[in-house]
Structure 1
Amino acid sequence: MGRNIAVTIISLTVLCSCSFIPKYKRPAMPVEKKFPDKGVYKNISFGNETNVSKIKWQDFIKDPKLKEVVKLALKNNRDLRLAILNVEQARALYGIKAAELYPSLYATSGIEKQRVPEDISFTKKAYTEKRYSVNFGLAEWEIDFFGKIRSFKKEALEEFLAAKENRRAAQIALITEVSRAYLRLCADIENLKIAEELLRTAEENFELVKSQYDAGVATEIDLNRARTEVESIKVDVVKLKQLINLDINTLNFLVGTHVDEKLLPKGLPEKNPFEEVKPGISSYVLLNRPDVMAAEHKLKASYARIGAARAAFFPSISLTSAIGTVSDELSNLFKGSARTWNLSLKGALPVFDPRIWAAYKLSKVQRKIVLTQYEKTIQNAFKEVMDRLTIKATIDEQIEAQKKLVRSLERTYELSLKRYKQGIDSYFSVLDAKRNLLQAKQALTNLIMSKYANRIALYAALGGGGD
């Protein structure tokens, strides 16, 4: 009998090949097939078609300190840890759905005792009835003739794959945010150096004006202006020190632990801390982004839900079987005469159940929603890349223009100070020139850091940094 049951199970498993999942076809890209290479973009070297997602972040980040900080973040950041745990959860759920395709075997044993009263006893005497049993068999197993369970398994698989891509997206976002926080810290440290240098100059100028005032050459207004400028720059210095500490707090939070002082930057990096990336002209590179891939897996999962909803219109068939022994005496339990078996095959066909139709309509609407989300994700990815390419195409020209402005303002400041010492101009022109120079130098620092930040942002927008 056991062999017959096994043959039956194998036969039914082989027969379960029907599926109502609609055939999946990747939707058309809802954006241009190529990135523009005209206008401001003509200065960009797109290079050959490159899968940026295959470039490891360890190779992309050149700054050794930043590389160590990112390693710490990948190890300690709680958001990334949650993303990893979500992958494990999705993997477990997929395992549960996959296991439902196969029968569950169980073994049981037991003893039952029951007192039969004399009123219903055949002998008209009360007695105690005993039964010993040992069984091995199948729990109720739904045979997946019409692919409902396999549809749920497919859905769970796609959800698991989407979770994996979301984990990769979380890692990319973390690397990007840590790099940006590090660059903000670099910029603020560099701006503090500029402010402290100008503070020293302002203090020297104040001593000069004070000596001239004491000699009766300078006016009290000039003296107060010189003192005001010193105090104003001191305020800027304190603000920058505050910003630096806030930057460090942000970096520690993103990393998930205290960042050692030796890993913190000392100012503006001498060169770009990131490798150059060339995306290629085709926008199909966006399909390698983890958020786009996760959205596509969600779309495939919605197809599987439709398959499950279609299968619900057809009969569900379940099998239960067991083989074992039963005896009223423990000593006779394993004798041949005590053998017993049972086999139960049940089917249920939904005749009238409005919920099935509603579920089917819901699954189709959900697919349309997920499709729209998928297209929106691609459009958002395209915009992100275009924004980064726009900055890439124009940032060098801005930096060069700002450098020329700084050189011009340095010369203006030198001339203003010289004219003041010669008694030609008031000290107001010196203060104005110095203030403009400070702002221009800080703007130059911020532009350079924006160039660096844009490179890591472009790398992330193209799907890099996930592994």
Structure 2
Amino acid sequence: MRKILSFIAPALILAMSAGCSLAPEYKRPEMDIPQTWEASQTQALQNKWWERFNDPMLNTLVEEALASNKNIAQAMARVEQAQAGLGVARDALLPTAGVSADGARTGYRDHNNKKAIDRNGGRIANAFSGAIAATWNLDFWGKYWNAAESARMDLVATEAARDNVILTVAAGTVESYFWLSAYTWQEELAQSVLKNREDSLKIYQNRFDNGQISDLDILSIKANVETARNALASARIAKNASATSLAVLLGRSPAEVLSESKIKAPGSLMASLASTPVLPSGIPSDIIEKRPDIRQAEANLMAANYDIGVARAAFLPSFSLSGLLGSASIELNELLRSTNHYAALSGGISLPLNFWTIKRGVTMVEAEKQAAIATYELTVLNAFKDVRDALVSQLEYANSVKALGKQVEYLDAALGHARTRYDNGFASYLELLTTESNLFSAQQALAAAHANHLSSIARVCLALGGGWQE
């Protein structure tokens, strides 16, 4: 036994020190990335970026989504799966051990010695054995180490994908809430306008019956009522779609999704939000490079780089060590006796001959790496595109809200003048109707512009990978 151990110890040391890696040295793809976005400031990501809107209901909904969303649950399960995969890959670096036990009882007849028989007409022979065996595939070329590192990068990529899902769900919840508020506002506007037009129709119907207004006027008034009714139906359809989308994001039950939404977003939120986040003028590029999708793309690239080392190692011979410690006896109670023990140590080597197949495998993983490089570069490009688009959108939607707010103010005043002119006989009803319709359209557009403005701020946070902190 001592001789065997004295041989195993140096062999293990040699195997552990002789390993090398055939994977190419990793280098991040070089890209022309600006140091800052329009200015140089120092900011850091803020995890709970949605709290910048200072809306308690919104904060509650986002926290509920992060706790119950099914996409997040799916991403979490995939991270657990990747963690197990990393463990399996690392186990390949260690010896594989096993225990075996056998027992046999054999009966046979002795035709040459008729006297030496038992009561069953034959002899009985027992055989018992037990052994502990271990096999170690020596990692001379770094094949298993590269496979383990590739699995580690897969785990990093899966964790980044989970973070991206969390970020996307939070942003989706914020946007759905804003649009639910906008459509609630539009619904309230349409209900108010419809009621006013229906009340006006009653008055003008009496005037028509008395011959005070023309057929054109009464028909225009009736058409205007139906326009408001159609706007109310459209707002309710859009509001319902936002509510059900929000319910799915929150992980609500199918019964809750099917029933009338219990999420009540005030329409006035859009016009009286406590504080709108002020975006910084400069955004460092290192924030953008921390986006989860960029981290995921680079981790996938690094995994592909390690896979090349795994594929290249197949060209070279593989070595293995096997050891066996056991005992055998014809009697079970004597199985553990030292005189019945035995041991064995063996080594193996195998050299592949299908080099053309291995070459194709190397070519395949090298092409996979090139695809991963292109994916990484495209992800970075899209990240900067997202930031630019989001920053421009939030700026211009702010201008749009300001312009539409003034338009509503002017049209409201114009409607008062138009009604006075009509009542005094200085203008036709068509003039009054046109002014009223323009005001209603501007109010509907203002509600949508508010939602677009707030959603664009959420998209800036999404583009930055989570927000900013001064």
Q: 1:8 deviation in Å?
A: 4.9
Q: 1:172 to 1:370 in 2, by over 3 A?
A: same
Q: Which residue pairs with 1:227 in the alignment? A: 222
Q: Indicate which of 309, 312, 318 corresponds to 1:310.
A: 312
Q: Please tell me the residue identity of whatever aligns with 1:401.
A: A
Aligned equivalents of 2:291 and 2:394: distance in 1? 20
CA contact (8 A) 1:30 1:375 kept: no
State the match for 1:49 in structure 2. Answer: 42
What displacement does 1:173 show? Answer: 0.9
Quick one: distance in 2 between partners of 1:349 and 1:390?
A: 61
Structure 1 segment 71-82 matched on structure 2, within 5 A: 71-82=63-74
Confirm whether residue 213 of structure 1 aligns to residue 205 of structure 2: no
The Cα of 1:263 is off from its aligned counterpart by 4.6
| Counterpart-to-counterpart distance in 2, 1:271 and 1:5 | 77
Decide whether the 8 Å contact of 1:16 with 1:143 is kept in 2. Answer: no
Mapped partners of 1:279, 1:285: distance in 2: 14
Match for residue 350 of structure 2 among 342, 348, 351: 348
Q: Trace 1:261-280 onto structure 2 (pairs within 5 A).
A: 263-269=263-269, 270-271=272-273, 275-278=277-280, 280=282
What is the rounded CA distance, in whole Å, between the counterparts of 2:190 and 2:394 in structure 1? 29
Once residues 31 and 219 of structure 2 are traced to their aligned partners in structure 1, the CA distance between those partners, rounded to angstroms, is 65
Pick which of 243-252 and 95-104 moved more.
Answer: 243-252
CA distance in 2, matches of 1:461, 1:205: 49
Other-structure match for 1:42: none
User: Secondary structure of the equivalent of 2:127?
Assistant: strand
* Partner of residue 383, structure 2: 381
User: What percent identity do the matched residue pairs reach?
Assistant: 26
**Which residue of structure 1 lines up, in the alignment, with residue 21 of structure 2?**
19
The verdict on how the C-alpha distance between 1:142 and 1:328 changes in structure 2, with shifts beyond 3 A counting, is: same
Alignment check: 8 A CA contact 2:40 2:284 kept? no
Instruction: Give the partner amino acid of 2:129.
Output: S
3-state SS of the aligned residue for 1:347?
A: strand
Matched residue type, 2:57: K
Aligned-pair CA distance for 1:422 = 0.9
TM-aligned CA distance change 1:315 to 1:385, over 3 Å: same
Quote the offset at 1:391 in angstroms: 1.2
One-letter amino acid of the counterpart of residue 173, structure 1: T
* Alignment RMSD (CA, Å): 2.7
Q: Can you give the 5+ residue segments of structure 2 that lack an aligned partner in the other structure?
A: none
Of 245, 254, 261, which residue of structure 2 is paired with 1:250? 245
Residue 55 of structure 2 corresponds to which residue in structure 1? Answer: 63
Q: Secondary structure at the match of 1:132?
A: strand
1:153 partner SS: helix
3-state SS in 1 of match to 2:132: strand
User: Match for residue 131 of structure 2?
Assistant: 135
* Number of positions where the alignment pairs a residue of Structure 1 with one of Structure 2: 454
Of 55-64 and 143-152, the range deviating more from structure 2: 55-64
- 2:198 is matched with 203
TM-score normalised per structure 1: 0.89
Q: Which moved more, 1:333-342 or 1:198-207?
A: 198-207
Q: 2:162 aligns with which of 142, 167, 181?
A: 167
Amino acid at match of 2:131: N
Task: Render the CA deviation track for 1:275-334: whole Å, top value 9, x for unaligned.
Answer: 444373433322100000000000000110011112222211111111121112223322
Q: Is the 8 Å Cα contact of residues 30 and 378 (structure 1) preserved in structure 2?
A: no
Inter-partner Cα distance in structure 1 for 2:360 and 2:387: 41
Question: Per the alignment, do residues 279 and 153 of structure 1 end up closer, same or farther by CA in structure 2, a change over 3 Å counting?
Answer: farther
Aligned to 1:457: 459
Q: What are the equivalent positions in structure 2 for 1:141-160 lying under 5 Å apart?
A: 141-160=136-155
Q: Is the 8 Å Cα contact of residues 50 and 279 (structure 1) preserved in structure 2?
A: no
In 2 relative to 1, CA 73–142 (structure 1 residues): closer, same or farther, beyond 3 Å?
same
Q: 1:443 pairs with 442, 445, 448, which one? A: 445
TM (normalized to structure 2)? Answer: 0.89
Q: Give 1:83's aligned residue.
A: 75
Aligned partner of 2:364 among 362, 365, 385: 362
3-state SS, counterpart of residue 443 of structure 1:
helix
Question: Do 1:63 and 1:274's aligned partners in 2 also have CA atoms closer than 8 Å?
Answer: no
Instruction: Output one character per residue of 1:383-423: Cα deviation in whole Å (capped at 9) or x when no partner.
Output: 11110011123222222222222222222222221111111
Q: Is residue 2:93 matched to residue 1:97?
A: no
Map of 1:300 onto structure 2: 302
Letter of the 2:133 partner, please give it. G
How many angstroms does 1:450 deviate by? 0.8
Give the residue type in structure 1 aligned to 2:429: Y
Secondary structure of 1:288's aligned partner:
coil
2-structure distance, mates of 1:133, 1:63: 73
Aligned residue in 2 for 1:29:
31
How far the C-alpha of 1:449 sits from its partner, in A, is: 1.3
The code of the aligned residue for 2:180 comes to L
Asked if structure 1 preserves the Cα contact closer than 8 Å seen for 2:53 and 2:274, the reply is no
Show the counterpart of 2:336. Answer: 334
Which residue pairs with 1:43 in the alignment? none
Distance 2:27 2:98 in 1: 42
Q: Tell me which residue corresponds to 2:171.
A: 176
Q: Distance in 2 between the 1:440 and 1:430 partners?
A: 15
Residues 150 and 304, structure 2, Cα contact 8 Å, conserved in 1: yes
CA–CA separation in structure 2 for the residues paired with 1:58 and 1:9:
59
2:419 corresponds to: 417
**CA distance, structure 2, for counterparts of residue 276 and residue 387 of structure 1:** 17
By how many angstroms is 1:89 displaced?
Answer: 0.6
Deviation at residue 273 of structure 1 after TM alignment: 6.5
